[in-house]
Amino acid sequence: MKKAVLITGAGSGIGKATALEFSKNGYFVHLMGRDKQKLEDVALHCRAGAALMSCDLTDVAAVTKRVGEIIENPLYQVEVLVNNAGIFKTHTIEDSSDEMWREQFEVNMLAPMRLTRLLTPYFKKHRRGSVVNVSSTLGMRPSGATGAYSASKAALNNWTQLLAQELGPLGIRVNCVCPGLVDTPIHPFHLLEGAAKDEALKGMAHLQPLGRIGTPEDVARSIYFVGSDLSGWTTGAIMAVDGGINLT
């Protein structure tokens, strides 16, 4: 039975890089995301094979159905779940709305919880499983105008450590990776090109002690490290992968 990984938000950015990293290391990759075309493009580069799961994480019935199909497949054993999908919107407390808070908690916290809940009996049956929650340094130390996002990621960090205690005796590891400033579609500067983008990245580089903005590949390597057997004795870790920005 071939080892497999399920990755949400796999169509671009950190999710895409993580899919390629696991594939490079022999994992069959289940790619989950909303944009089928982007998932197809990623699948073309997954040398160990890939399957597409085009659905919205907020569609509970659809997600439940697709996960059920995965765990019933006798050809692959899902060993790792990477809860990577997220949504980021800035706001002050005065211009925020209930809907804005609900939306970010729905995707950033409740969706990872539901997927993990669906896969826990499967992991428990095999006495083997690894969950990696992709959070943010804003979940460790918030910044202005990021109330709902920072709060949802702080909840994800806390839940990671709670779940590590709960599932550890069942042979299931749960860890969290917290990226800092990374060049992904979640940030407006990602859309810039040429000299304008170079200038934007240069202007933010000084915020990190390591002197540069992160790449999706920087984070993907850390996700693979904590998700795979390379970290077989690690659970409950909250790992900052941020160039040191959380220290400044």
Token digits for 77?
A: 């054993």
Between helix 147-167 and helix 98-105 the angle, nearest 10°, is 30
- Given phi > 0 = left and psi -120 to 50 = alpha, else beta, which region is 43? alpha
CB burial string 106-127: b at 16+ within 10 A, e below: ebbbbbbebbbebbbebbeebe
Distances (CA, A) of 138 to 29, 150, 238: 28, 5, 12
Tokens 């990755």 belong to which residue? Answer: 7
214 and 242 in contact (C-beta within 8 Å)? yes
**Residues near 20 by Cβ (< 8 Å), separated by ≥ 6?**
42, 45, 46, 220
3-state class (DSSP) for residue 175: strand
- Residue 149 a catalytic site member: yes
Measure the CA–CA gap between 148 and 166, rounded to whole angstroms: 26
Q: Which of 27, 76, 122, 149 is catalytic?
A: 149
- Residues known to be catalytic: 149
